[in-house]
Amino acid sequence: MTTIDLIRQRRDGEVQSRAAFDALCAGARDGTIPDYQLSAWLMAAYLRPLTPSETADLTLAMAESGTRIPMAGLPRPWLDKHSTGGVGDKMTLLLGPLFAACGLTTVKLSGRGLGITGGTIDKLESIPGFQTQLSVEALRDQANRIGFALGAQTQDLAPADRVLYALRDVTATIESIPLITASILSKKIAGGCDHLVLDVKYGRGAFMPTFDAARALAASLRTVGTAAGLRVRTLVTDMDEPLGAAVGNALEVAEAHALLRHPDAADPRGQRLLTLANRIAVEALTLTGTPVPEAESRVETALRTGAAHAKFTAWITEQGGDLSRLPIAAYQTPILAETAGTVTEIDPAQIAGAVVALGGGRATKADVIRPEVGAILHVSRGDQVRIGDPLLTVHSAHPIDAHPIASAAAWRAGFQIVPGGVPAERPLATVVTD
């Protein structure tokens, strides 16, 4: 079968075989299919969406285009989690140790952030000394001893996805649910897990703008993941406001650490984050066969007894990090309310956009992050504020006064404050079962 046949089959809506996807992925990986033909196939796939069974075949072909982390020999169950990303989403920092404290084994490969949603590797690299370039043997050894290891995605993990994803980015073919599904799941399968919890976020701070769009992606991930041999649980979660109080790399690490250390002292933003972590951890345990009451009690015990905190410090220390040397911003500027009323909305995109503008995230792949930059929220939706009350504190390397995108007015624009207002009800998390 020639590459032109592969494109023609897709263009004409014919069912494509696993062998066809293997040929496509080998050509993408080896560079033997030129970008213009891969791009033509991608546009055909965008216009003629893959069926769930084709998507499962493409997923496996992409996963098998590179190496797979061997989990054999590590204590079962092997679980991974994936979030589609959001503002203040430091969930992996909480869940990796929490899973380990609950008896699950997780080897996780994470990426960097671009734009308003941060990447776990960037967050962890804000900890002086923390190593993210771990060999497969080192990841396995650490996961065997403490239950959790996390490294940066390597070049040989689903290499066909890397090529196809880069082309999708520049050919207006990102927004295809089957292609997104195959892209996400191929990396997870190559990462070695057999159980997977997926947190699909929706809202202004997420990749999927609406609940319905996120739900459609969640359902596709569940169907295709199952067809590809994984046990999958998918949740759709709210990203229409920042998750937790901290947005910014070192600040998010500090927040996760403080919440695991003193969960009872969490402020309302921290409590919301812990509620979601708790929910996802219970779903993970039940997915691996633990009955609901036992799962709930294990998660609660791991948090309340300090077992999850002990796993967190063991993990960071194992990977060389020194939490006592987290960078601290030179300037900390409170942003005060200029209106009295109820906080009805906190726009995650506006807050994260200002953090990126101050150097706390990347606008382009080449940007260098300032890890100490970010913001700490002091209010939640539904809070009453008076004029002069602090809304958030900006952590920056330079004074923010003259900054066009991160001025006090820009931060304030992230808050909708309405006298007598009532914030709309939104569920924090919904499990998708179809």
CB 355 to ligand URA: min, Å: 21
161 is catalytic: yes
Q: Please give the Cα distance from 378 to 386 (Å, whole number).
A: 13
Nearer to ligand URA, 149 or 180 (CB): 180
187 is catalytic: yes
CB 347 to ligand URA: min, Å: 22
168 is catalytic: yes
Q: Please give the Cα distance from 248 to 246 (Å, whole number).
A: 6
- Taking CB under 6 A as the binding criterion, the range among 89-97, 117-125, 180-188, 424-432 that sits at the site for ligand URA is 180-188
Q: Which among 57, 80, 89, 161 is annotated as catalytic?
A: 161
Does 183 help bind ligand URA (rule: CB under 6 A)? Answer: yes
CB 187 to ligand URA: min, Å: 6
CB 35 to ligand URA: min, Å: 17
Q: Please give the Cα distance from 80 to 214 (Å, whole number).
A: 20
Nearest to 46 by CA among 171, 145, 230, 223: 171
- Taking CB under 6 A as the binding criterion, the range among 6-14, 99-107, 179-187, 403-411 that sits at the site for ligand URA is 179-187
82: enclosing H helix or E strand? strand 79-83
Binding mask 122-161 for ligand URA (x = CB under 6 A): ----------------------------------------
Half-sphere exposure of 420 toward its Cβ, with a 13 Å CA cutoff?
0
Nearer to ligand URA, 165 or 312 (CB): 165
Nearer to ligand URA, 109 or 274 (CB): 109
In the list 60, 127, 158, 180, the residue contacting ligand URA (rule: CB under 6 A) is: 180
Which of helix, strand or coil describes residue 246?
Answer: strand
Does 184 help bind ligand URA (rule: CB under 6 A)? Answer: yes
**Position of minimal CB gap to ligand URA:** 183
Nearer to ligand URA, 111 or 229 (CB): 111
CB 200 to ligand URA: min, Å: 10
CA trace torsion 218, 344, 263, 131 (10° rounding): 60
Q: Which two tokens stand for residue 197?
A: 């919890």
Q: Any idea what DSSP says for residue 205?
A: T
Does 189 help bind ligand URA (rule: CB under 6 A)? Answer: no
Q: Any idea what DSSP says for residue 100?
A: H
Count of residues touching ligand URA (by CB under 6 A): 4
**Residue 383, burial from CB neighbour count under 10 angstroms (0-12, 13-18, 19+):** middle
Which residues within the stretch 351-380 sit at the binding site for ligand URA (CB under 6 A)?
none
Q: Any idea what DSSP says for residue 114?
A: B
Does 41 help bind ligand URA (rule: CB under 6 A)? Answer: no
Nearer to ligand URA, 165 or 202 (CB): 165
Nearer to ligand URA, 84 or 249 (CB): 84
Nearer to ligand URA, 85 or 263 (CB): 85
Q: Which among 176, 183, 186, 220 is annotated as catalytic?
A: 183
Q: Please give the Cα distance from 11 to 234 (Å, whole number).
A: 31
Nearest to 123 by CA among 327, 357, 394, 349: 327
Task: Give Rg (Cα) of the chain.
Answer: 22
- Whose tokens are 């779903």? That residue is 283
Q: Which among 90, 112, 123, 187 is annotated as catalytic?
A: 187
Does 83 help bind ligand URA (rule: CB under 6 A)? Answer: no
Does 110 help bind ligand URA (rule: CB under 6 A)? Answer: no
Nearest to 119 by CA among 296, 295, 248: 248
In this structure, are residues 287 and 231 in contact, taking their beta carbons and an 8 Å threshold?
Answer: yes
Sign for the CA dihedral angle at 308, 312, 317, 323 comes to negative
In this structure, are residues 273 and 429 in contact, taking their beta carbons and an 8 Å threshold?
Answer: no
Does 165 help bind ligand URA (rule: CB under 6 A)? Answer: yes
Q: Which among 10, 82, 162, 188 is annotated as catalytic?
A: 82
In this structure, are residues 323 and 400 in contact, taking their beta carbons and an 8 Å threshold?
Answer: no
Query: Which distant-in-sequence residues (6+ apart) come within 8 Å of 169 by Cβ?
Result: none
CB 180 to ligand URA: min, Å: 4
- Taking CB under 6 A as the binding criterion, the range among 177-185, 290-298, 318-326, 364-372 that sits at the site for ligand URA is 177-185
In this structure, are residues 364 and 242 in contact, taking their beta carbons and an 8 Å threshold?
Answer: no
CB 326 to ligand URA: min, Å: 28
**Residue 141, burial from CB neighbour count under 10 angstroms (0-12, 13-18, 19+):** middle
Which residues within the stretch 394-423 sit at the binding site for ligand URA (CB under 6 A)?
none
Q: Please report, as ranges, the residues that interact with ligand URA according to CB under 6 A.
A: 165, 180, 183-184
Return the active site residues. 82, 161, 168, 183, 187
